């Protein structure tokens, strides 16, 4: 959204101050481009729903309509369907979380949980600490409530505790209030790295000492490839963590069902916020998911997704090794994303039009920073295209990168060029690839 | 939500200022009580979804899964499914609205459209003008963004233009900024009255003169009983009206699909706000509704609903005539609600526990005012119970009202009592019933 006056908008001076934070993300503009069939999109975060047992889902829907149609078609509770909340406890138990069904609030995807938590806690000017880089639409939400975002450094083991301490001290020295630490500790979006167990303990301890609520966003934790990741942070800290989960990656995003697990007093307020925003999450899609979980081998299905995405991750890493061996990238043990660092002052954002011309799309690193960092990074997602298309996408990308390098070399031999300095990459590639 | 410190909530001092506006509504507390099967609830606003052709809906779902399952299970666009937006134009055309499919944004029920519009326009302290009485959960949303609410008087022809002018002048004289005029002009919730055509023109003219956006919320317009109501305000004013519609009353609230039709520049910002809040509305439920509309006689089904609710409205009016002939009430030509005015200093809020003891529930009038008014009013809904239960509910209510009157008479003959003065009823009953 532009914050410049728009002669075509007679209501321009009516918008709330927070509306200026509602900017179109760089990811958003990409969606239109990347949806053209000839483009190999390594840009999106769409799960491969074609791997779902669609017959089983259809059967579940038919049973819902037959056995409890009027209830599924009706308004529901602002907290969500009790039967589904019980099943959500089973999902979270897989990552070590013990909780009461009373403390789960079902939301319209975990995105809406992010929105509700932010609405509940953030005054204009409050600071949210977030990994650098962070999930782009979380940053959009924080900004839409006028939060300031302070990025904490990451390395291949996730959030760096010393950097966290330093940022807390610096923000407080500037007289600002820190409300939340937002983190995707497992198979992070976009960096693809995982916070080690010891660091989880350290980060929770730092948060506790400083009275900062941890907002743990965990959409990918069950989608591991080489062995289970550390348990969720919420598994060892009940009062200091608001935990977000979702069925969008392990089942289907089209249902828009996620959840928040919050300390008891907080969850009461989240229910009120949920009711104000949507009255109740969809009874229908909640009922379908609950029925599916009660009859399907949903854990086995998550195993199927692991196999699908493992093969795609491997295809991407192999293609990067083959086509772009001198670049740096992270090696995710799960999730959807590889984070690539470009060499030689290449700028991922200005390179994007050339990439689209070569029929490949990615997300520029700047989308994942609130501070302009990330120009030398790009996020490549391996969740949606088949292994063959992933390989072809990376091949096309190598044409773009190599072409851009040649161009820069040519120019640098003929005339001085003003090029933005590369942003410091917060993610060091793992030793075996650097 | 209490705004008092809560020793059990260690995060009490972390909440945003706006959180104090997220109070539990009086309607909310009632839901728990009213859901007991032995209670006749005249309190809720649940549509009678059992009147839907469930087989047709099931067939539509099966076709969606068979023909486009992966798309329906996937993320969608933040603006909503193009095919459904085209069909939404057909729905709105029934109330005289001509619009472009580009200016429709699908939302998670029209409740979420209310939330998004409020987030986009309201700074703390901004004023929203609203009918007195107004839809309770709209008031909750406005307060949750720290709006001040100024109620404009209504009579049996809806919002009173002179009162609107007077309130605009008074609010501006106090140095405050008016951002929105919120109105349910047709079969209003809770008053059950309809803004006349001439007044629609007058109100739009006043809003235009004063640079105030009209937020027209129209969930009930197609559910008329005695003849079509005036066309929507949006039918004659494009740039000055944000229009909200929903499938919750004409199809099923369990799908959580509503929409907003906004001036072009505003709708662009609403899409961004929608994406931040939920990424996209549910592809699945949108697809199901679109499929249902393409194969079912959906206009005929709305006719069926009209017949169902007409019979129930008649049952309620007849029962009121029979059991409580000396009370005043409105006579709705559509929608879900009758607004009753109690005599003799009776207080609907303090009377409620006695009503629940008599196994009947209603919504006290105070829920629909931001200013404490409405103590002598109650909203009776006829949408959900069968005609027999409606009659029985009103019979029980008469026991309560008459018992309360006797009690007051007894006390007033023995000792002076401090009783709150009755709030001024903003709704005069129509001449034929007063």
pLDDT tens-digit map of A99-118: 999 999 999 999 999 999 99
User: What number is the average pLDDT over the span A130-148?
Assistant: 97
- CA-based nearest residue to A218, from A263, A260, A262: A260
pLDDT band at A409 (very low <50, low <70, confident <90, very high): confident
Distance from CA of B216 to the nearest CA of A (A): 16
Burial of residue B33, with CB atoms counted within 10 A of its CB: 0-12 exposed, 13-18 middle, 19 or more buried: middle
pLDDT value at residue B239:
96
Which chain A residues contact residue B47 at CB under 8 A?
74
pLDDT tens-digit map of B4-37: 445 578 999 999 999 998 877 655 666 576 678 8
Helix/strand/coil for A215: strand
List CB contacts of B97: < 8 A, sequence separation 6 or more: B89, B231, B232, B234, B235, B243, B261
Helices (H), B330-386: 348-357
pLDDT band at B3 (very low <50, low <70, confident <90, very high): very low
Which chain A residues contact residue B62 at CB under 8 A?
58, 61-62
Closest CA in chain A for residue B107: A278
CA A344 to chain centre: 28
Q: How far is B408 from B84, CA to CA, in rounded Å?
A: 56
Q: How far is B35 from B224, CA to CA, in rounded Å?
A: 27
Tokens for A367, please give them.
């989308």
Question: CB of B313 within 8 A of CB of B333?
Answer: no
% of chain A with per-residue pLDDT over 90: 85
User: What number is the average pLDDT over the span B343-350?
Assistant: 88
Would the pLDDT of B396 be above 70? Answer: yes
Any CB–CB contact under 8 A between A112 and chain B? yes
User: What number is the average pLDDT over the span B340-369?
Assistant: 93
Query: Average pLDDT over chain B, rounded to whole?
Result: 92
% of chain B with per-residue pLDDT over 70: 91
pLDDT band at B425 (very low <50, low <70, confident <90, very high): very low
- CA-based nearest residue to B15, from A367, A119, A219: A119
Which chain A residues contact residue B278 at CB under 8 A?
108-109, 111-112, 115, 256
CA A289 to chain centre: 22
Any CB–CB contact under 8 A between A278 and chain B? yes
Any CB–CB contact under 8 A between B126 and chain A? yes
pLDDT value at residue B434:
30
Question: CB of A116 within 8 A of CB of A142?
Answer: no
Which chain B residues contact residue A58 at CB under 8 A?
61-62, 65-66, 69
Tokens for A298, please give them.
């949903």
Burial of residue A157, with CB atoms counted within 10 A of its CB: 0-12 exposed, 13-18 middle, 19 or more buried: middle
Distance from CA of A6 to the nearest CA of B (A): 9
Tokens for A129, please give them.
């600490």
pLDDT value at residue A31:
58
Any CB–CB contact under 8 A between A122 and chain B? yes
Q: Is this model's pTM higher than 0.90 or not?
A: yes
Interface of B with A in 131-160 (CB under 8 A): 137, 140-141, 144-145
pLDDT band at B261 (very low <50, low <70, confident <90, very high): very high
Q: How far is A250 from A389, CA to CA, in rounded Å?
A: 22
CA A249 to chain centre: 11
CB within 8 Å: B282 and A111: no
Helix (H) / strand (E) element for B304: namely: helix B298-323
Token pair 């839409």 in the structure block, residue: A144
Query: Average pLDDT over chain A, rounded to whole?
Result: 92
Which chain B residues contact residue A16 at CB under 8 A?
119-123, 126, 145
Q: How far is A357 from A360, CA to CA, in rounded Å?
A: 8
Which chain B residues contact residue A74 at CB under 8 A?
46-47, 49, 252-254
Token pair 């007289």 in the structure block, residue: A175
User: What number is the average pLDDT over the span A76-95?
Assistant: 97
Which chain A residues contact residue B262 at CB under 8 A?
none
Distance from CA of A383 to the nearest CA of B (A): 13
Q: How far is A31 from B124, CA to CA, in rounded Å?
A: 34
Q: How far is B379 from B330, CA to CA, in rounded Å?
A: 10
Would the pLDDT of B331 be above 70? Answer: yes
User: What number is the average pLDDT over the span B262-277?
Assistant: 96
Phi, psi of A19 (to 5 degrees): -65, -25
How many residues does this entry show for chain B? 434
pLDDT band at B431 (very low <50, low <70, confident <90, very high): very low
Helices (H), B324-432: 348-357, 387-414
- CA-based nearest residue to A261, from A105, A98, A83: A105
Q: Give how far Cα A255 sits from Cα of A31, A83, A335, B255, Å.
A: 20, 17, 20, 10
List CB contacts of B71: < 8 A, sequence separation 6 or more: A254, B283, B287
Computed on alpha carbons and rounded to an integer, the radius of gyration of chain B in Å comes to 22
Which of A23, A75, A147 to mutate to probe the B interface, most B CBs <10 Å?
Answer: A75
**ipTM greater than 0.90, yes or no?**
yes
CA A295 to chain centre: 29
List CB contacts of A431: < 8 A, sequence separation 6 or more: none
Tokens for A85, please give them.
């909340």
The DSSP code sequence of B97-162 is ----GGGEEEESHHHHHHHHHHHHHPPTT-EEEEEES--HHHHHHHHHTT-EEEEEEEETTEE-HH
pLDDT value at residue B423:
42
- CA-based nearest residue to A394, from A325, A306, A298: A325
pLDDT tens-digit map of B66-107: 999 999 999 999 999 999 999 999 999 999 999 999 999 999
pLDDT value at residue B309:
98
User: What number is the average pLDDT over the span A194-221?
Assistant: 98
List CB contacts of B317: < 8 A, sequence separation 6 or more: B329, B331, B338
State the pairing for strand pair A337-341/A377-381.
antiparallel
Interface of B with A in 29-68 (CB under 8 A): 46-47, 49-50, 52, 54, 57-58, 61-62, 65-66
pLDDT tens-digit map of B171-218: 999 999 999 999 999 999 999 999 999 999 999 999 999 999 999 999
Tokens for A67, please give them.
């056995």
**Which DSSP category does B387 fall into?**
H
User: What number is the average pLDDT over the span B295-315?
Assistant: 97
pLDDT band at A428 (very low <50, low <70, confident <90, very high): very low
Q: Give how far Cα B325 sits from Cα of A299, A313, B342, B398, Å.
A: 62, 74, 11, 10
Question: CB of A193 within 8 A of CB of A328?
Answer: no
The DSSP code sequence of B82-109 is HHHHHHHHHHHHTTT----GGGEEEESH
pLDDT tens-digit map of A256-287: 999 999 999 999 999 999 999 999 999 999 99
Question: Which residues, listed in sequence order, are joined to residue B215 by a DSSP beta bridge?
Answer: B182, B242
């Amino acid at each position: 959204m532009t914050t410049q006056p728009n002669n075509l908008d007679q209501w321009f001076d009516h918008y709330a101050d927070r509306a200026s934070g509602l900017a179109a993300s760089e990811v958003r503009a990409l969606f239109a481009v990347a949806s053209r069939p000839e483009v190999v999109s390594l840009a999106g975060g769409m799960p491969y729903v074609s791997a779902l047992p669609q017959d089983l889902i259809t059967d579940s829907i038919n049973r819902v309509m037959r056995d409890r149609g009027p209830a599924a078609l009706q308004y529901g509770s602002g907290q969500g369907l009790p039967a589904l909340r019980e099943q959500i406890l089973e999902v979270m138990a897989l990552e070590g979380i013990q909780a009461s069904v009373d403390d789960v609030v079902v939301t319209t995807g975990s995105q809406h949980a992010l929105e509700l938590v932010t609405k509940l806690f953030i005054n204009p000017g409050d600071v949210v600490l977030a990994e650098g880089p962070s999930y782009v639409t979380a940053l959009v939400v924080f900004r839409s409530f006028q939060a300031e975002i302070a990025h904490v450094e990451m390395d291949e083991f996730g959030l760096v505790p010393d950097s966290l301490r330093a940022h807390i001290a610096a923000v407080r020295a500037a007289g600002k209030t820190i409300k939340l630490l937002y983190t995707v500790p497992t198979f992070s979006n976009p960096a693809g790295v995982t916070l080690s167990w010891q660091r989880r303990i350290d980060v929770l301890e730092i948060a506790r000492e400083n009275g900062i609520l941890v907002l743990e966003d965990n959409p990918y934790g069950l989608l591991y490839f080489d062995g289970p990741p550390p348990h969720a942070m919420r598994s060892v800290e009940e009062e200091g963590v608001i935990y977000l989960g979702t069925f969008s990656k392990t089942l289907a995003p089209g249902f828009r069902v996620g959840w928040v697990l919050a300390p008891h007093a907080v969850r009461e307020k989240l229910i009120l916020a949920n009711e104000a925003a949507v009255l109740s999450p969809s009874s229908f899609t909640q009922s379908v998911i609950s029925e599916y979980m009660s009859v399907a081998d949903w854990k086995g299905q998550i195993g199927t997704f692991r196999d699908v995405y493992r093969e795609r991750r491997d295809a991407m890493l192999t293609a990067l090794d083959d086509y772009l061996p001198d670049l740096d990238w992270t090696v995710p043990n799960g999730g959807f994303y590889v984070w690539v660092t470009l060499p030689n002052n290449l700028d991922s954002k200005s390179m994007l039009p050339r990439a689209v011309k070569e029929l490949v799309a990615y997300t520029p690193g700047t989308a994942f920073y609130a501070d302009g960092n990330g120009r030398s990074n790009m996020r490549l997602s391996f969740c949606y295209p088949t292994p063959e298309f992933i390989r072809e996408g990376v091949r096309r990308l190598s044409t773009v990168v190599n072409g851009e390098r040649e161009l820069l070399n040519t120019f640098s031999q003929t005339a001085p060029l003003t090029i933005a300095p590369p942003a410091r990459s917060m993610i060091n590639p793992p030793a075996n690839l650097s």
